[in-house]
């Protein structure tokens, strides 16, 4: 594998047919390649999530990350856009699903696509990955420490993140969950509740919780980075995608 790729900013049609900005990274070959929709974290459509997107292209996948804040803040700096979105109450769940659906359609329409697509996200993007995987027909999903899946965010807060546990029965694809044992949102109890519900629903899933790791252990630029958890996590994601996106 050469890791050669092309990465660029494009426009895709998202929820309601809206045209939104997106970052597309894809191998230079003719394919066929599986696709990965990367959902950026709450701090926004930023450099670090673009790096993640390119990482999957280097591994041989068509990776596409829609800018979930494009409507509120077209052309804004990622941190300004994130602040605006937060002040407005965050990304509505139905809009998120529409944007991921548009991204999946865009990937599958590419001549190099093999017709398969996964979704992956960290933090709020982990919760949104679970939402997408229980709302859309996907081939695989990776939830990296998504909070508020089991309990939701407190209803009095302006940022609306309702619980999604009752959607477990709609999970359309295999789910890989990667968590830190020292995380509090989601804490180990929440992860256990979600695993119990997925088991009860007969779903195909595998969860891994890393000792000594808290939230955001994949973030190389933050003190929360845990090299052993991150390296093992990427290894598991690679194996997972090889199994379900080939």
Catalytic annotation, pick one of 119, 122, 123, 173: 123
> Which residues within the stretch 1-40 sit at the binding site for another protein (CB under 8 A)?
none
The encoded tokens of residue 150 equal 């089991």
What is the 3-class SS of 147-200, one letter each residue?
CCCCCCCCCCCCCCCCCCHHHHHHCCCCEEEEEECCCCCCCHHHHHHHHHHHHH
The encoded tokens of residue 123 equal 């933090």
Q: Any contact of residue 153 with another protein (CB under 8 A)?
A: yes
Q: Any contact of residue 123 with another protein (CB under 8 A)?
A: yes
Strand partners, 48: none
Nearer to another protein, 70 or 203 (CB): 70
Q: Any contact of residue 207 with another protein (CB under 8 A)?
A: no
Nearer to another protein, 50 or 215 (CB): 215
Figure out which of the listed residues 27, 146, 174, 177 binds another protein, where binding follows CB under 8 A. 146
Q: Any contact of residue 189 with another protein (CB under 8 A)?
A: no
> What number of other Cβ atoms are within 10 A of residue 211's Cβ?
10
Chain CA centroid to CA 117, Å: 12
119 included as an active-site residue: no
Q: Any contact of residue 138 with another protein (CB under 8 A)?
A: no
Q: What is the C-alpha separation between 65 and 49, in angstroms, rounded?
A: 8
Q: Any contact of residue 233 with another protein (CB under 8 A)?
A: no
Q: Any contact of residue 76 with another protein (CB under 8 A)?
A: yes
Q: Which residues are catalytic?
A: 123, 183, 215
């Amino acid at each position: 594998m050469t890791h050669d790729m092309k990465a660029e900013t494009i426009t895709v049609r998202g929820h309601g047919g809206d045209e939104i900005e997106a970052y597309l990274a894809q191998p230079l070959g003719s394919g066929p390649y599986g696709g990965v929709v990367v959902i950026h974290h709450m701090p926004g459509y930023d450099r670090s999530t673009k790096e993640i997107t390119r990482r999957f292209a280097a591994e041989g996948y068509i990776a596409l990350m829609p800018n979930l804040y494009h409507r509120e803040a077209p052309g804004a700096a990622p941190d300004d856009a994130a602040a605006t979105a937060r002040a407005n109450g965050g990304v509505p769940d139905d809009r998120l699903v529409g944007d991921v659906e548009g991204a999946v359609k865009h990937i599958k329409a590419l001549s190099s696509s093999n017709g398969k697509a996964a979704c992956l996200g960290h933090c709020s993007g982990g919760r949104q990955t679970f939402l997408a995987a229980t709302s859309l027909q996907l081939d695989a999903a990776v939830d990296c420490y998504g909070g508020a899946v089991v309990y939701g965010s407190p209803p009095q807060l302006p940022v609306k993140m309702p619980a999604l546990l009752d959607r477990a029965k709609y999970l359309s694809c295999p789910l890989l969950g990667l968590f830190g044992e020292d995380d509090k949102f989601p804490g180990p109890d929440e992860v256990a509740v979600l695993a119990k519900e997925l088991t009860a629903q007969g779903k195909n899933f595998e969860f891994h919780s890393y000792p000594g790791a808290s939230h955001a252990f994949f973030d190389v630029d933050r003190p929360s980075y845990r090299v052993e958890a991150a390296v093992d996590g990427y290894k598991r994601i690679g194996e997972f995608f090889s199994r379900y996106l080939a």
